[in-house]
Amino acid sequence: MSEPYFLKPVFHEKIWGGTKLHDDFDYDIPSDHTGECWAISAHPHGPATVENGPYAGMTLDQVWAEHRDVFGNAKGDVFPLLTKILDASEDLSVQVHPDDAYAAEHEHELGKTECWYVIAAEPGATMIYGHHAKTREQLAEWINNGEWDKLLRRVPVKPGDFLYVPSGTIHAVGKGIMVLETQQSSDTTYRLYDWDRVDKTTGQKRELHLQQSIDTTNVPHHDPDLDITTTQVGDATVTKYVQSPFFGVWQWRLTNGQATFNRGSAPYTLVSVLDGQGSITVDGQDYPLSKGIHFILPFDVKQWTLKGDLQIIASEPGAKA
């Protein structure tokens, strides 16, 4: 029988983390400095565990390695995507991620292009997104001199905003913001500034990676052109945010309704319920859905029906995934 595979997330404590993953999503978090929920993950730093079906108890990386037919026999040594929820109780470090070529040579893993759907944001909240340097020489000068006010570009954000963050983009999620992040399955981060914070457990400032940041940052910064479109599928409003070489990301929003979806060309779909209550029907079987549930629709699920009041972010691998 075809069925969705529900996942048990993994949580990571961060110097900038808080309690909203418990307060807003009712997750059992390890501390009041929990920054990240790795919801759909096969990365070795935090693989999620399958909770149902024939692979119950296996981690997602094990299923990828041993049962590739679940994913339509997709190519690749590693499961290509990672879905997270981030709670920024304080500003994250200012950082940049390498592309695939640089990461393969220097870090032996995928590069990291990512995107954010803003779940919540306090009034006046901002992200660091891009920079003002015109040349790499100017970039290096401002970084090495700590001229952050000159360098960094801040943008205001509100709930419902979407930002696409290609590799090479200087960025930081700001204080008071919660996002769902869809990204390549990589944990390589180059910090260029960390607000001079001291880690309470080590008594030291966290490591910076200035040369790697200078090497990998896109200069000059250009905002990506997003063709955000909205369509109807049954009673659902479907918003396409991005279709990149690495992933496609959509929102499915359903208000006291029903919608039947058919699989497209992608071999599997990642699904995160951000709000609401309802159900998904697959192969004649109903599965309850509620806020904070994450699952994968594998290759053999060709059609599914959503019912209820639901806000969902879904993603699929792109051509390069």
CB 238 within 8 A of CB 229: no
Binding site for Zn(2+), residues? Answer: 97, 114, 171
Q: How far apart are CA 61 and CA 67, in angstroms?
A: 10
Give burial (CB, 10 Å; 0-12/13-18/19+) of 117. Answer: buried
Residue in 153, 191, 197, 253 annotated catalytic: 191
**Backbone dihedral angles phi then psi of residue 182, each to the nearest 5 degrees:** -110, 130
Q: At a CB cut-off of 8 Å and minimum separation 6, what does 297 contact?
A: 4, 263, 268, 269, 271, 282, 304
C-alpha triplet 232, 238, 244: angle, nearest 5°: 130
Q: Is 286 left (phi over 0), alpha (psi -120 to 50) or beta?
A: beta
**What is the C-alpha to C-alpha distance for residues 41 and 116, in angstroms, rounded to an integer?**
16
Residue ranges at the known binding site:
97, 114, 171
Residue 72 DSSP one-character state: T
Residue 30 φ/ψ region, left for φ over 0, alpha for ψ in the -120 to 50 degree band, beta for the rest? alpha
Structure tokens at 125: 């909240």
Bond preceding residue 220 cis, omega within 30 of 0: yes
Question: Is there a catalytic annotation at residue 206?
Answer: no
Q: Phi, psi at residue 150, to the nearest 5°? A: -70, -40
Which candidate, 185, 180, 213, 194, places its Cα nearest to that of 96? 213
Quote the distance between the C-alpha of residue 130 and its chain's center: 18
Catalytic annotation, residues: 191
